[in-house]
A and B are shown apart, each in its own frame.
Chain A
Amino acid sequence: MDKVIIAKDLTLSYNANETIINQCSFEISSGEFVFITGASGSGKSTLLKSLYGALTPKQGELAVGGVTMKNISSKKLNFLRRHVGIVFQDYKLIKEWTIEKNVMLPLIISGYAKDVSEIQVQKLLTHVKLNHQLGKYPLELSGGEQQRVAMARALAHNPIIILADEPTGNLDDYSSQVIWNLLEGACTQLKTTVVVVTHHIPETMKTDYKHLHIEHGSIYEVS
């Protein structure tokens, strides 16, 4: 299987004094479902940030989708991000845009034709059972609904990787289950690589997954 993410002796830090991830190596294959767990402040989100280029490696090597992340140019980073779908705990929807336009965002950025984008958005919003809320604004929806919109947005441009940072952290059990089903569906049906940062792995997972655990700046694979 192709390796979508390769980290070799990866060191991550926000400043010179404190190292968050220290010389870690791991690999993630195409189509794999991966959980990254660890205590609060262990560096889970930091690792995820490095995967979408919000944080550059201090030392070591990191390649995502074949793109080397160290000293990456903004042009290359934009190109990579157009092939990645990201889901956040706080949804990160654009408040002044409608649900339809929010889901359309990756398609606008990738230069899809308007009619093609509209069909795709309709399809995705139907999939997340929000097709009747097209013209609404994010703040008019519940937290669970907003996260479903964020999921639809992450899937809109058929990304090669979905990165999710505590996607169910703020949700009730029902909404959480919907999000897990969508993430599993993306992995099994679309063969998208899914990397999820979470505190707890859901017991209802039907798909095989890889489990990476972060502790004291080191990453272990839990079998």
Chain B
Amino acid sequence: MAIRKVCGIETEYGIVVRGADNNPVSASSLLINAYVNATSRKIGWDFEDESPANDARGFNLDDVFPPEIESSLVNAVLPNGARYYVDHAHPEISLPEVADALEAVRWDRAADEIVRSSMTYANEILGAGAEMVVYKNNSDGKGNSYGCHENYLMSRDTPFGRIASHITPHFVTRQVFCGAGKVGCEEPNRRPGDVAYQLSQRADFFEEEIGLETTLKRPIVNTRDEPHCDPQKYRRLHVIVGDANLSEVATYLKVGTSLIVLAMIEDDQLGDEVLLANPVAAIRQVSHDPTLTRTIMLRDGRRATALEIQWALFERARKYEQTHGLDAVGADVSVDVLDRWERVLSGLETDPSSMGHCVDWVAKQRLVEGFRDRHGLPADSPRLKAIDLQYHDLRLDRGLAARVGLETIVDPRDVLAATTQPPTTTRAYFRGRCLQKFPDDIVAANWDSLVFDVGRDPLRRVPMMEPLRGTADHVGSLIDDCDTAAELLDRLGQ
């Protein structure tokens, strides 16, 4: 049976400073430091167990540069169990580990609120005459992209080759409901005007089917093998192909459908029926077709639309629910994901424009085309590109996504609570609770351990190699009962 899934999202945000130094690294540092200083005692990230250059295929490529770890940049762990840091030249938040798609939406929205607060604090520091603005998007429209990565816990027993080949059709076609929309084209060797409007921010940037890279020659399936947990039992599928979503429903479906498809792959319930002949060409073809009518080539020579491939995956998922159940992927939530998946496919099939309340690319397209028609603008007008960028602007008084009537599925009070509270369902609970209760005794944290300094040498590292241990059920009352970190360590047998 598929293992119980844990997942997370890491979002790199776009950042701009007007009226002051626009260096993205210092701006990102200012943003994060402003938040951390205003809200909590800063606890650093521990890099001991980072190994982003390991390849899931079990070999190393000599011509691939291993991803770098920039340990000198700002790096903090938040009381909700998230990591907030400067990655390359962007502020990034990695959500605490969550156990289902609804929790992913809740903590993803909390991350947006953390960034909004950070903007406020940073702008107080910048003072009058300067302003910092953060964007939740994945492209600057000039050929530069930055990621919104997903992570899914998988069994080490599942052959990586099967994961890669069977998840690819989903990654290529799920953009029909989770693409964030883009004005223009950034595909290498094509002109921006070659495509007026497309589904995805990211599709133009994918050049390989499979590989270790994340910044150059990006692959549809990333092979980074860095599980951040027991490597004998687990792998972490690191997904770099998605867009950051402003629509809660889109995030919900992006994560929820992927969880179900990955569980099916673990149980070997996806056959070769919808394997693609050329995934790299297909991901762009699908993105470049807002009519959703063009077909892509399957490996067996047939052709199918992205929607037909999604229907095929959906039908298998329905069958899987009946034969295997959905306990591995959060049964209650995943049953709802199936219903919404069906509704969004039906809606897109009937009339894509009817899905503007939940699909980002549809909501944005309505603005772009409505504005174009109202002002009689040419397709290459910078004002249309400005609408595209401003859709993702996280300022409440400027951001367009906040105005288009997107359906919400998480109570704003729950979002607010998630800015400071960890999920109760994963080891993030242990991390977050300890950071809240014993901030003076923790010197460093990372995904799979906490390092305590309780005044007794040496420092104590508490390993957390099981992502589903350290939950509220598991350690909630223990943490409640302990008045000091030393007592907690004693009772944990440390």
Does A associate with B in a complex? no
